[in-house]
Structure 1
Amino acid sequence: MAYQIDRAGLVSELRDLVAVDSPVGYYPLIHGYLRRTFEGMGYEMFTDNKATAYVRVKGQDSSKTVCVGAHLDTIGLIVRGFNEDGTLRVRQLGGVNYHSIEGETCHVICRDGNAVSGQVICNSHSTHVFDDARTVERDENHMSVSLIADVKSPADARALGVSEGSIVSIDPQFETFENGYIVSRHIDDKAAVAVLIDTLSWLKEEDLRPAFDTLFAFPIYEEIGHGGAYVPSEVSEYVALDITLIGPDYDADEHHVGVIAADHRGPYDWELTNQLARCAQKACDPKKWNMQVCYRYSTDANAAYALGANIKSGAFGMACLNTHGRERCHVDAIIGCAQLCRAYLMGEGLK
């Protein structure tokens, strides 16, 4: 079946999503955004004790419940202390590449919810000043966050509300190009969240039911490996929508959708992965999807499986360049992901 996707609407939704701060474990703003969005569509959102947001949709067949998930959390930093000059010592939340965030602006989210603007800097921040500015290692011992304010001491920073445990969200710097490319932080995994929002909107507008009862899940701890650790007991299969990869061993570019056969935890379910491949054959451009075996990579679906959930696991998503940096994707891949999602939910890949 051919699925017509609102190209401009997907890009607009992605732009809005990446603008909402949601580093690992920080959910108040993104939950508010989702709740308003889903209520506007006529859905009810609920959360569990792990701050995973859900929307439940009745299917044509209630003999099983499937789950499709896309994680809300982005990589970020957490304040662990202060340097003498009032800059902030940090630790990473998720797989931060410090080289990719040097010089970037950010929001330091205080425990009371207020935010202070900042900038990620290397402690040897200038070639005009430091002999080792080019050579010093970029890691949490040599990088800090400098508040964009008149701060000269830890007391000055604390007076602004910053404390240990404040969360740092890196500004996305979202940019689109006329040829369809998108460059931004947090395409991982806000693009997949946009796909699920688009899918829910489509189901409502077309008055359709998925093949089976479906739980749409939006975890907030994926980047540290346990977003999908808890899965509601009624779920029998969990398909994660997440970025896929570009580089050696990955026959893909930014236009591609990837179906994940295995990752660093091991293989995904054989039958479910074959079902996703059949869906891709029916719904996607045959030149713009592939199968991937991923390294240094996992998803909530395989995390749930590996951590003991009694489920079948599967995964697919849009190919993304420069992952965990300022990422690059093409709208073709996001559209392909939306088409594959619809085909899976409507049961097209079933034998």
Structure 2
Amino acid sequence: MKYTTHLKEIVMLIKELVSIPSPTGNTNKVIEFCAQYLKGLNIEMKRNHKGGLLITIPGKNNEKHRMLTAHVDTLGAMVKEIKPNGRLKLSMIGGFRWNAVEGEYCTIETETGHTYSGTILMKQTSVHVYKDAGEAKRNDENIEVRIDEKTTNAEETRMLGINVGDFVSFDPRVQLTASGFIKSRHLDDKASTAILLRIIKWIQEEGIELPYTTHFLISNNEEIGYGGNSNIPTETVEYVAVDMGAIGEGQSSDEYTVSICAKDSSGPYHYGLRKHFVNLARENKIDYRVDIYPYYGSDASAAIKAGHDIVHGLIGPGIESSHAFERTHESSLMNTEKLLIAYIQSPLVI
């Protein structure tokens, strides 16, 4: 059956996903959203002990399996300390730099589920007070959260129910432009998650029979390195992480094509599987780029490090300004979707 892209639905699904706070360690709401999206499709779903969502679709061949994963956990922070002035010192969750969130609106979620808004600022923000406002280091000591409540000391902040260990999430500021761009935090990796969810829905609604039993893992610990390194069925032969292509100077990835990773900081991805992706892209007239990401790791590389005997690959939409003010284009989503559809219906490489 010829596949017709569901681009508009994928874009709106991305908008919904990025709007659900889900820093690593606090992902239950977004995982539940994914489960609800697939509810009623007569599909096998279960939660692993880590809290991720595992979906299994039987195929013609049940002796050898495929597995694809995308992650919904995002960058974020935790309250490290309540300062004497009532503001909050943060501890990072995930690999970002403080300058990437300076000036950002945020949400503090207490242990009871109550939320407060705030702004992430340098304590030396006011140029009328601090001579070094522009030169001061953006680091743990100087970054703080200004809470949008009347609090001037640590005790007043604690009276709000805010404590050390509370999660802090960043405002996504999602925007969809008339020119086809999606601007938002957390496109890493909710853009890929939206694509996988829509493909799963298509398979079930159209009654597509896959050549191999295929598992889809919506991972929730990728940003700290171990979201998809377990719960891999022993029959799994190929394991593909669907995650962002990193864009920048010296990179071949862009916002309009699907990125196929040849190597990241963990080392090369499986050469045969990489060539298979390239051949599928050429055969199906899919715009693609092959790239190397120098400071990057994925759930697929985590699975390899965990000792699984699998063939591993990595593809995904190109994301500009990763781990900061991210952006991609509809054409990148569409090319990624098309390559994934071709892949799940193709022969294994081994």
Name the TM-score class by shorter chain: over 0.9
Q: Deviations over 1:26-60 (max 9, x none)?
A: 12211221121111433343111122211111112
Q: What is the CA distance between 1:310 and its match in structure 2?
A: 1.9
Match of 2:342 in 1: 343
| Distance of 2:67 and 2:327 partners within structure 1 | 27
CA distance in 2, matches of 1:43, 1:232: 18
**What SS class does the counterpart of residue 255 from structure 1 fall into?**
coil
CA distance in 1 between counterparts of 2:347 and 2:179 reads 31
1:231 is displaced (CA, Å) by: 3.6
RMSD: 1.6
Q: Which residue of 2 aligns with 1:238?
A: 239
SS in 1 for 2:125: coil
Look up the match of 2:120: 120
Are 2:250 and 1:249 aligned? yes
Structure 2 letter corresponding to 1:132: D
Change in Cα spacing, 1:171 to 1:40, as seen in structure 2 (3 Å) is farther
232 and 136 in structure 1: CA distance in 2 versus 1, 3 angstrom threshold: same
Contact residue 284 and residue 339 of structure 1 kept, 8 A: no
1:211 alignment counterpart:
211
> In the aligned structure 2, how far is the partner of 1:266 from the partner of 1:146?
41
- Cα distance in structure 1, aligned partners of 2:291 and 2:105: 34
Change (3 A) 1:279 1:350: farther
Q: Distance in 2 between matches of 1:85 and 1:40?
A: 51
* Gaps in structure 2 of 5+ consecutive residues: none
Return the TM-score normalized by structure 1. Answer: 0.95
Q: 1:45 is matched with which residue?
A: 45
> What residue in structure 1 maps to residue 308 of structure 2?
309
Give distance in 2, aligned partners of 1:173 and 1:44: 34
Q: Which residue of 2 aligns with 1:223?
A: 223
Give, as a single letter, the amino acid of the residue that structure 1 aligns with 2:138. Answer: R
1:91 corresponding residue in structure 2: 91
Deviates more, 1:55-64 or 1:248-257: 248-257
Query: What amino acid maps onto 2:28 in structure 1?
Result: P
Aligned match of 1:322: 321
Instruction: Spell out the pairing of 1:1-351 with structure 2 (5 A cutoff).
Output: 3-234=3-234, 235-285=236-286, 288-347=287-346
Q: Which residue type is aligned with residue 327 of structure 2?
A: R
Q: Give the number of equivalent residue pairs.
A: 349
Contact 1:279 1:349 in 2 (8 A): no
Write the distance in 2 (CA, Å) between the matches of 1:48 and 1:20.
21
Give the Cα–Cα distance (whole angstroms) in 1 for the partners of residues 95 and 284 of structure 2: 33
1:69-124 CA distances to partner (integer Å, 9 max, x unpaired)? 00111101111111111111111100122112111111112222222111111111
CA contact (8 A) 1:276 1:349 kept: no
Q: Deviations over 1:245-264 (max 9, x none)?
A: 22233223210111111110
Aligned 8 A contact 2:273 2:349 in 1: no
Distance 1:276 1:111 in 2: 45
For the 8 Å contact 1:231–1:309, the answer to whether it is kept is: no
Partners of 2:284 and 2:347 lie apart in 1 by: 9
Structure 1 counterpart of 2:237, one-letter code: S
Classify 1:186/1:328 alpha carbon distance in 2 versus 1 (closer, same or farther; 3 Å): same
Kept in 2: contact 1:2–1:283 (CA 8 A)? no
Using the size of structure 2 for normalisation, the TM-score is 0.95
Change over 3 Å in CA distance of 1:138–1:284 after alignment to 2: farther
Q: Are the structure 2 counterparts of residues 154 and 293 from structure 1 closer, same or farther at C-alpha, using a change threshold of 3 Å?
A: same
In structure 1, stretches of 5+ residues that fail to align are none
Instruction: Say whether the 8 Å CA contact 1:3–1:283 is kept in structure 2.
Output: no
Distance 1:21 1:182 in 2: 18
Cα deviation, residue 284, structure 1: 4.6
CA contact (8 A) 1:318 1:334 kept: yes
Asked whether the equivalents of residues 47 and 53 of structure 1 are also in contact (C-alpha less than 8 Å), the reply is yes
How far does residue 292 in structure 1 lie from its aligned partner after superposition?
0.9
Indicate if the aligned counterparts of 1:278 and 1:349 stay in contact, CA closer than 8 A: no
Find the aligned partners of 2:43 and 2:247 in 1 and give their Cα distance: 36
SS in 2 for 1:60: strand
1:167: Cα distance to partner? 0.8
Query: What amino acid is aligned across from residue 296 of structure 1 in structure 2?
Result: Y
Q: Distance in 2 between matches of 1:152 and 1:180?
A: 44
**CA shift for structure 1 position 308:** 1.4
Q: Deviations over 1:141-165 (max 9, x none)?
A: 2101111111111222222221111
**SS of equivalent residue, structure 1 residue 128:** coil
Amino acid at match of 2:46: F
How far apart, in 2, do the equivalents of 1:273 and 1:193 lie?
A: 21
**Structure 1 residue 348 displacement after superposition:** 5.9
